[in-house]
Structure 1
Amino acid sequence: MLEGTLDERFDAALTHFREAMDTARGVGMTEPDPETGEQWDLVHILAHVSEMLEYWLAEVLHVLASESEEPFGRLKRSPERIARIEQRATLTVEELRSEINLRAEATSDLCRLLRPEQLRKKGIHPKFGAMTVEEIVTEFGVDHLHEHAGQLELL
């Protein structure tokens, strides 16, 4: 069982990410992603985190609004994902930080408001299959923020 409530876990991941963002030297590239081969600099990491927070918040809201277990999500190789990252990468680091903070606060607020029955609501992801809202936020929010914080710590 995971420790803490979903909002506590999300906030801890966000704190880890913000600390890594504040201390990142911004030099170099990430290691190649084992699945896609992608390598990112500081701006591309921040661009992805900005767009992914917005994307997954909308996907969680979609799952919550669905009457049944509806399909949701995307894969790493989705052209939409790549285009969203490249579009965001045209912004400055400060603009990206501002977007990240705004989108993370919205996600944190939602996590605090979700009732137990909402956390158990399910959608169908193309890779992972049936996932609850809690699993979606954990996989694509909490764990993802920790993963990208780790990348920033190595730059």
Structure 2
Amino acid sequence: MASTKVEGYVESIHQSLDNILSIVSYLSEDMIRWKPSRDEWSILQILSHVGESTLFWLDEMDRVLEKPGTEWGRGLGHSGRLAAVEAPDKLTIDDAIAKVNGLKEEVTNRLSKVSEDRLTEENPHRNFGKFGNKPISFLIEHFLVEHVEGHYNQIQRNLTKLSEETIK
């Protein structure tokens, strides 16, 4: 592994992915497909998004490492982001779980190539006014580590809402 900091990133992402996989392994298809509201994602949509977004941010990381100074990021309307969640009836649970499961190896392989000294290299975000220049460590911490953990928490919130719904 490239550095202790990178090892920590990998370990944290793996823990969140393991938590996600562990929790969904006990859920029925109905629970995984249930949407808390019209504006909230089902657990299946969350799984699909985690699979798509993690690969997207790894690609962004690789791109700015390969070509320093390159602008990085995306908006909420990014076509890949939207495609991952817009047709939940066409998503299969097995495919979504398999993709999330495969992320662990992908995260390990790609992050292990990042050396400690590269973590401080800054690159401009596409929304420069909001983010400005940010180091590679910011991209990894915010858009990979915190992002995957946040979606694990989102799954837990969905299950709490589902539980409350069934009690009514």
TM-score by length of 1: 0.79
Deviations 1:98-134 (A, max 9, x none): 1122233212222223112222222211232212111
Residue 94 of structure 1: how far off its partner (Å)? 1.7
State the AA in 2 paired with 1:148.
Answer: H
Quickly say closer, same or farther: Cα 1:72–1:53, change in 2 above 3 A.
Answer: same
Runs (5+) with no aligned partner, structure 2: 160-168
In structure 2, C-alpha distance between the alignment counterparts of 1:96 and 1:113, rounded to whole Å: 26
- Equivalences for residues 24-39 of structure 1 within 5 A: 24=24, 25=27, 26=31, 28-29=34-35, 38-39=39-40
Q: Which has the higher helix share?
A: 2
1:1-155 equivalent positions in 2, closer than 5 A: 5-24=5-24, 25=27, 26=31, 28-29=34-35, 38-66=39-67, 68-86=68-86, 90-127=90-127, 128-154=131-157, 155=159
Pairwise CA distance, 1:9: 2.9
- Bigger relative contact order, structure 1 or 2, given CA contacts below 8 A and separation 6+? 1
Question: Which sits farther off after the overlay, 54-63 or 72-81?
Answer: 72-81
1-side partners of 2:76 and 2:9: how far apart? 24
The 4+ residue runs of structure 1 with deviation greater than 6 A are: none
Larger radius of gyration: 2
What is the identity, as a one-letter code, of the residue corresponding to 1:47? Answer: S
Deviates more, 1:48-57 or 1:74-83: 74-83
Summarize the Cα distance change of 1:69–1:31 in structure 2 as closer, same or farther, 3 Å threshold: farther
- Cα distance, 1:84–1:20 mapped onto 2, change above 3 Å: closer
Of the structure 1 ranges 93-102 and 14-23, higher mean CA displacement relative to structure 2 is found in 14-23
